Amino acid sequence: MGFLNETYWLPRDVQWSQLPTDARDLLYPVYFTIPMLFCRVLLETLVGIPFGNLLGYGEGTIVSQMTIHFFGGFTSQTRSKRILECFWRFFFYTSAFIYGCKIMVHKSWLWDVKDCWIGYPWHKTDDDVWWYYMVELTFYYSLLISSIFDVRRSDFWQLIFHHIVTIGLLSMSYAINFVRVGTLVLFSHDAADILLEGGKLVKYDKSRTKTTNGIFVVFLLCWIVTRLGYYPFIVMRSAVFEAANLIQPDYDVFNVFQVPYAPRIIIFMLCCLVVLHVFWTIIIGRIVYKTAMDGEVEDIRSESEEDEMEERRRVERKKLLKKKRPTKQD
């Protein structure tokens, strides 16, 4: 069968028809990406804008803001658009993490990663896990498409690479029924993302400096624990050094010529995420340094270069005005 030959993908003597998961299910996230994007715009319009006005973020009447955003404003590069982007991601990550907590707390592999491999590939995928996987996969497809019209940040290409790797990781892991380890990756990533987007939302209100700094400290701790601790040293370590012995003892992960190849591709994708985590950790380190020097968090993730230039110009204009005032008084 060429590319789909079981020997390339599955443990010895296992057939596609024997797997509890059906790779055809991966079409559902593709089908539901556009509906999710529509729901996003609707949520931003009907909930995000009114909520933002309550917090003092709005500019103009609520009705005019809602009308402009719904009928094309969601493709703009304005401050309100950036706030609504954060609102959408904060809403999704919070919802996904709460749902993940609800279902994962009862799953044995959350407490013992070896259960991801013991009994593989015959693990049945419960309905709650199926929905968790499909909705998250749909979300990352939607992020990839919305990157066309969302505000372009300085780490744009790293984010695109992250979305592609995540989609590939989730899709391949579902196809060969590595769903359990996939849920651990999702669960360990959403927590820090909630604080990231929540911190950015608060930061847009310049009067909440202490709150922003507090959220940043909690975010930093969560990032270290989940992205630099649990993910590489618990999840990845188990995938590299324990999985083979528990699934097919004669399988050598480091022998690139031995079949199946799919587990190594998945491990490679997991490693790509670690590299991205290190990249963003360097950015966070710079933010920590700036915070220590200035006493205020500059940003939890950099905005677009154009936005940074606009902010600099605004600061320079203020300085010029201050210099001119004494002259006028004289």
pLDDT tens figures, 99-112:
999 999 999 999 99
pLDDT value of position 303: 47
The tally of CA atoms less than 13 A away on the side-chain side of residue 241 is: 7
List, as one string, the DSSP characters of 166-207: HHHHHHHHHHTT-HHHHHHHHHHHHHHHHHHHHHHHHHTSTT
CA distance 213 to 208: 9
Neighbours of 41 (CB within 10 A): 20
> Which pTM was predicted?
0.88
CA distance 301 to 54: 25
pLDDT at residue 318 greater than cutoff 70 = no
Least confident of 41-55, 80-94, 128-142, 193-207: 193-207
The tally of CA atoms less than 13 A away on the side-chain side of residue 48 is: 27
CA distance 265 to 142: 24
| Greater model confidence, 73 or 312 | 73
241-283 pLDDT, tens per residue?
999 999 999 999 999 999 999 999 999 999 999 999 999 999 9
pLDDT value of position 316: 58
